[in-house]
Chains A and B, each alone.
Chain A
Amino acid sequence: MTRLLDPGFNLTLRPMQYPKFYEMYRAAIKNTWSVEEIDFQIDLSHIQRRMSPADRHLIERLVAFFATGDSIVSNNLVLSLYKHINSPEARMYLSRQLYEEALHVQFYLTLLDNYVPDQDARALAFAAIDNSPSIQRKAEFCRRWTDSVVDLRRIATADDRRRFLLNLTCFASCIEGLFFFGAFAYVYFLRSRGLLPGLAAGTNWVFRDESAHMSFAYEVLRTVREEEPALFDARWAAQVLQMIEEAVECEAAFADDVLSGGVVGLTRREMREYLQYVADQRLTMLGLPIRYGSRNPFSFMELQDVQELTNFFERRVSSYQVAVQGEVAFDRAF
């Protein structure tokens, strides 16, 4: 029996070796959404009338980061994950994830087009990766980890596999699991002030997708850990810790930039504390001891952990599924 990281392009779907990945693929399909469903009307009037220049700076930076961030994740998916995770059902999931990343890019692209009416300012926002040092630094961090595996054609040795696992851990725990979680916090902070319902509605869906990406990556890590426990040694743990510390610093520097205008109700200190808190959670999820011991300062993030109940006539409900199965019957229990 081949193991998940044994090099090759396994095509055998039956018997299915990792049905969990296939289930994740099917669940992802059910969560299909489209940018056209989101209503930005109210957001536009908020941006014009209810937001300060500091708030607008926050939004532009945030959306600019998202638009590039999802592209970076897509690239790594193709260059690294798809290549080395050797299971056809896992590759089905990754294909679906690739589509979702493109959808997220489309969402943030549409947002920037709508939110920044001035052509020059918009071009500047799209080029943020070149002209904003804080976004540049994050992109640099991501690029370094993508580059670390780009020359790996086959992960045959234990060392190669460790390199790959670090790359996977980085994208799950630091980029999707920390950078994006940081970004979500800004959105929900604004939402807690009653602002930008369109952005929040779309972000709910993006958040849901990203959560699934993260659980997929952790499921891969869990499986590999079961198959090849020796890969997860003390050196791996030390490298992960160092990587997460660096990611927290990058994201905290981004927060300094995003909040540089002085956003009422959100301080840099709180943001750093929140990032440390999230980082500790990632470490816990990886089975490693926590590093910071910080508490979550944002009560509004607690809202994201519980079921939503929307007045359908005020906002679009986001909790439906597509691809519903079955035939007409009159004797089923309900």
Chain B
Amino acid sequence: MELSWQGRPGLDYLPSSPTLFNAGTLHEQLSSCFLLDSPPDSLEGVYEKYKDIALLSKFSGGIGIAWHRVRSEGSLIRSTNGLSNGIVPWLKTLDSSVAAVNQGGKRKGAACVYLETWHADIEAFLELRDNTGDDARRAHHLNVANWVPDLFMKRVEAGENWSLFDPKDVPEFPDVYGGEFDRAYAQAEAQGLARKTLPARDLYARMMRTLAQTGNGWMTFKDKSNRACNQTAQPGAVVHLSNLCTEIIEVSSQGETAVCNLGSINLGRHVGAAGFDFEKLAHTVEVAVRQLDSVIDLNFYPIATARASNLRWRPVGLGLMGLQDVFFRLRLPFDSEPARALSRQISEDVYFHTLRTSNELARLHGAHPNFADTRAARGELQFDAWGATPTNPERWRHLAREIEIHGLRNSLLIAIAPTATIASIAGCYECIEPPISNLFKRETLSGDFLQINGYLVDELKQLGLWTAGMRDAIKLADGSIQQLEAIPAELRDIYRTAWELPMKSLIEMAAARGAFIDQSQSLNLFIANPNIGQLSSMYMYAWKQGLKTTYYLRSRPATRIAKTTVAEPMPGAEPDSAATACSLENPAVCEACQ
């Protein structure tokens, strides 16, 4: 603990907000995330899950829950000879239950439901967040995510059909992945078990529409998440879902509720005069891993299945924040070659030092009990699953030998969380994200706050360009400086907002980083004015790049709020001044060109 304390006052590293909320209270529930396997297909099973979720939510945990095993609409209930209403009424109840329990009175309860793409109720599931239609079939507070098998994406690409099944007919589907799933799926189709068959692209288009209209319906990929998970070395160990922020990838079952303690390194504070300070990073990582590991033992577990799982696997999730601060400090455009290389190297080093620390902890306290069941025990590390090679193979070979001898204290180490709360505390940009604007309003529980890009202001001050007029111009342009010709092109390139960067480069950077992330990352994507064609291309690319998960699709409203604090005169009302702003026909009176 002493080590940890040395880091905190400087904000080099911050534990997650649940840790900050609950440390030192009566029930020290310090974990951020809980992942629950789908309730079994029975009334008792469903109600047991509601209870588990309420107990976890009470102590500030975000909930991820799968719903793959619950039978679909129209399925026969043998004991009463009635027909099931499908998953929607259950999720409506879950919605109310989650809203009723707020997280320790500090934050609204929050849950995300995962559904596999073959479930016969998938279409109704995708409409849960719509603001039209029967309110009894809507869940306004739940988040929804797609748990997508590779086979679906392949069929979308090939323009083939897709079949939907009732889980009662195919109870084995949630517990198989990869080739095994493909075979089970083909067999079920051949046996004529499908409830409905439709063009795969039609369903894909609906998924894209849900993303565009609600930002929800996150695309997360089942097969890659399983293939590249350290916990799935043994048959039967399966990842059934991700969590509320799509950065946790852990196995779960009826007896094991996955838990993760999170914390993030503030990268902006690791830049020195000579560039990025990898030595300081190594130290911070070590402190962070020790802090996160100790949370596992200190933690209060609201339900027994969570405790059971966590003590066996001892997973933690060390994340990053302020990547954009690093780029601003080094004056690198977000998607430039040097920025990409640095981003990858940072992730490689973080992964290396987390493993090294976890290995040292194993030497002191022993490996985690399930170590023998992990891929690491067979010498496989994350980058092997991605076919990537580390830049410094010698240190990795050495580390591999140490792991072979002593094992690891933790089965999982890296997860890049959104860091919305702690980035505000630390005063840096969120996780691995570019800013949405150079001037924006952060809406939080405690109120709304204006955030201005201090790096940009400093640059403009140095150029003598930071004036009241400049401030208003940036405000009128909604925080963009791309059209402000007075600012040098080089700066405009560096200070592009998330709306102005190609998403392709964000995805590629995420994939390059992914080889060193044993869980996953909360990767938001930004398209101001989305359409189905663009989204379907983008998510297909994300899947092909091998991402395990994507997070929110952020877009912008169709019309804007009228500006209160800067006036825009009616066009045509003042013809003289409008013409003077830029008139190529009459350059003599044009002040802009002088």
Query: Using a CB–CB distance below 8 Å, which chain A residues touch chain B?
Result: 24, 26-34, 36-37, 39, 41-42, 181, 188, 191-194, 197, 200, 204, 207-208, 210-212, 214-215, 218, 221-222, 225-226, 278, 280-281, 284-287, 296, 299-322, 324-334
Contact = CB atoms under 8 A, between A and B. Distances in A.
A284 B569 contact: yes
Nearest to A329: B533
Contact of A314 (B108, B437, B529): B108
Interface of B: 62, 99, 102, 107-108, 110, 131-132, 135, 138, 140-141, 143, 156-157, 201, 204-205, 208-209, 212-215, 244-245, 418, 420-421, 436-437, 439-450, 475, 478-479, 502-504, 527, 529-538, 540-541, 552, 554-574
A95 to B, nearest CB: 17
B559 A305 contact: no
B564 A319 contact: no
A200 B443 CA distance: 10
Contact of A305 (B213, B444, B557, B565): B565
A327 B533 CA distance: 5
B447 A332 contact: no
Contacts of B533: 326-329, 332
B141 A39 contact: yes
Contacts of A325: 531-532
Contacts of A226: 572
B594 to A, nearest CB: 26
Contacts of B560: 208, 211
Contact of B131 (A33, A285, A304, A333): A33
Given A296-B564, A306-B440, A326-B532, 18 more contacts: A27-B558, A30-B557, A30-B559, A37-B131, A39-B108, A207-B562, A302-B450, A305-B563, A307-B436, A319-B555, A321-B557, A328-B156, A330-B537, A331-B537, A332-B533, A332-B537, A334-B527, A334-B537
B57 to A, nearest CB: 12
B205 A204 contact: no
Given A221-B570, A285-B570, A310 B440 contact: no
Nearest to B531: A326
A194 B447 contact: yes
21 contacts: A37-B131, A207-B562, A215-B562, A286-B573, A287-B569, A287-B570, A303-B441, A304-B564, A307-B478, A311-B418, A311-B443, A313-B108, A313-B245, A315-B108, A317-B554, A319-B554, A326-B531, A329-B533, A334-B502, A334-B504, A334-B537
A36 B131 CA distance: 8
B11 to A, nearest CB: 19
A328 B441 contact: no
Contacts of B418: 311
Contact of A278 (B108, B212, B504, B564): B564
Nearest to A206: B561
Given A326-B534, A327-B533, A329-B533, A286 B561 contact: no
A321 B138 contact: no
Contacts of A317: 215, 554
B291 to A, nearest CB: 23
Contacts of A24: 559
Contacts of B201: 328
Nearest 7 interchain pairs by C-beta: A287-B573, A326-B532, A30-B558, A326-B531, A211-B562, A329-B533, A324-B212
Contact of A27 (B102, B535, B559): B559
Nearest to B111: A313
B567 A285 contact: yes
A334 to B, nearest CB: 4
B132 to A, nearest CB: 8
Contacts of A296: 564-565
A248 to B, nearest CB: 16
A21 to B, nearest CB: 13
Given A32-B131, A287-B569, A301 B559 contact: no
B558 A31 contact: yes
Contacts of A37: 131, 140
B534 A194 contact: no
Contacts of A312: 143, 215, 552
A314 B107 CA distance: 6
Given A310-B443, A320-B214, A225 B557 contact: no
Contacts of A192: 447-448
Contacts of B529: 321
B279 to A, nearest CB: 33
Contacts of B208: 328
A46 to B, nearest CB: 12
A324 B213 contact: yes
Contacts of B570: 218, 221-222, 285-287
A309 B443 contact: yes
